[in-house]
């Protein structure tokens, strides 16, 4: 039985592609969006691929999504996965003098503002019972993993967190569950310079567990089932199921 229609924005590679593939295998009808068809393995496994969805281009993003979704009544799961990390050479310290201002602006555009562009384009397809998942990061938390580096990436994902939390009020009233998830440190093009990353497959398993538990109600805590917590309007660590402080 179909689990409904999932729209994965930014599904050309990495976590987005892995998650879209898993959702398809798990019984979702999957609509994948890309900026351009990837040159390697084709995306034929998905039910539909919408090309031309560049989340930094308000009109192109809207037009491509509206045209590609013209025959779709409702989206049951929206995953906003599109994201970039623009790193300066000395990103491990990133002194203010070396911050790449254009890079910060690009990250804000893709990682935060792009989410709003996508939501505006698909808002009328999100009905009671739908779920909206944003790919965020623990690096955006003001209380954890604070190293004073990667200013643009952290600030843009913190902006995404605020948008997701803010939007959860309107969407909650409409019966739509909203969650931000940290996928773990995952081995992809974004992190290929880092050690200790988990596989896309392992990350996707955690993200799927988050999606299953997304709801407007409280859910039992994974660590202590006698207590509850709400994933709605929250930042969740997909590798553990725990909430991450803002
Ligand atoms: N990897 C990690 O350890 C990690 C950790 C925490 C959070 N995250 C977040 O998880 C998400 C996926 O990351 P990843 O590691 O899979 O990165 P990735 O391999 O670099 O993939 C990024 C995806 O975003 C898409 N994208 C970039 N700019 C876009 C734009 N302007 N319009 C539409 N799509 C665009 C890319 O499409 P193109 O192929 O067209 O460029 C690609 O599909 C990101 O939001 C990232 O911030 C990742």
Of the listed ranges 2-6, 133-137, 146-150, 228-232, the least confidently predicted one is 146-150
CA of 226 to the centre of ligand 1 (A): 36
Q: Is the pLDDT of residue 42 over 80?
A: no
Q: How far is CA 130 from CA 65, 77, 121, in A?
A: 18, 6, 16
Q: How many CA atoms lie within 13 A of 235 on its CB side?
A: 25
**In terms of C-beta density within 10 A (0-12 exposed, 13-18 middle, 19 or more buried), how is residue 104 classed?**
middle
Q: How much is the average pLDDT of 115-128?
A: 98
CA of 4 to the centre of ligand 1 (A): 24
Of all protein residues, the one whose alpha carbon is nearest to atom 29 of ligand 1 is: 82
Domains along the sequence of the chain with CATH: 5-237 (3.40.50.720)
Q: Tokens 């491990």, residue?
A: 92
Q: Tokens 């997909």, residue?
A: 238
Cα–Cα distance, 185 to 191 (Å, whole number): 8
Q: How much is the average pLDDT of 44-50?
A: 93
> Starting at the edge strand that comes first in sequence, how are the strands of the sheet with 4-9 ordered?
48-50, 28-33, 4-9, 77-80, 131-135, 177-182, 234-237
Cα–Cα distance, 9 to 30 (Å, whole number): 11
pLDDT band at residue 154 under the 50/70/90 scheme: very high
Q: Is the pLDDT of residue 165 over 90?
A: yes
Q: What are phi and psi of 198, to 5 degrees?
A: -85, 170
State residue 125's pLDDT score.
98
CB 55 within 8 A of CB 114: yes
Of the listed ranges 80-94, 95-109, 228-242, the least confidently predicted one is 80-94
CB 68 less than 6 A from any atom of ligand 1: no
CB 20 less than 6 A from any atom of ligand 1: no
Q: Which atom of ligand 1 is nearest to the CA of 36?
A: 40
State residue 43's pLDDT score.
84
Of the listed ranges 75-79, 90-94, 103-107, 161-165, the least confidently predicted one is 90-94
Of the listed ranges 8-12, 26-30, 37-41, the least confidently predicted one is 37-41
Q: Which of 83, 85, 235 to mutate to test the pocket of ligand 1 (most atoms within 8 A of CB)?
A: 83
151-173 helix and 114-122 helix, angle to the nearest 10 degrees: 20
Question: What does the pLDDT look like over 169-190, one tens digit per residue?
Answer: 999 999 999 999 999 999 999 9
Top pLDDT among 93 and 59 is at 59
Strand partners, 177: 131
State residue 223's pLDDT score.
67
Q: What are phi and psi of 210, to 5 degrees?
A: -65, -45
């Amino acid at each position: 039985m179909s689990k409904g229609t999932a729209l994965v924005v930014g599904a050309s590679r990495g976590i987005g592609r892995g998650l879209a593939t898993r959702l398809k295998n798990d019984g979702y009808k999957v609509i994948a969006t890309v900026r351009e068809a990837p040159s390697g393995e084709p995306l034929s496994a998905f039910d539909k691929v919408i090309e031309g969805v560049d989340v930094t281009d308000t009109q192109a993003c809207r037009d491509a999504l509206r045209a590609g979704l013209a025959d779709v009544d409702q989206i049951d799961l929206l995953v906003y996965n599109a994201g970039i990390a623009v790193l300066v050479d000395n990103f491990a310290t990133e002194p203010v003098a070396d911050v790449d201002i254009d890079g910060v602006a690009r990250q804000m555009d893709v990682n935060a503002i792009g989410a709003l562009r996508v939501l505006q384009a698909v808002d009328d397809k999100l009905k009671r019972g739908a779920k909206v998942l944003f790919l965020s990061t623990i690096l955006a938390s003001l209380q954890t993993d604070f190293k004073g580096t990667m200013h643009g990436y952290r600030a843009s994902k913190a902006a995404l967190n605020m948008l997701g939390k803010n939007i959860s009020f309107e969407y909650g009233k409409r019966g739509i569950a909203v969650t931000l998830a940290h996928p773990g440190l995952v081995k992809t093009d974004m992190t290929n310079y880092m050690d200790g990353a988990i596989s896309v497959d392992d990350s996707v398993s955690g993200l799927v567990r988050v999606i299953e538990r997304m709801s407007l109600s409280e859910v039992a805590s994974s660590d202590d089932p006698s207590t509850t917590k709400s994933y709605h309007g929250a930042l969740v660590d997909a590798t553990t199921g725990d909430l991450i402080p803002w």
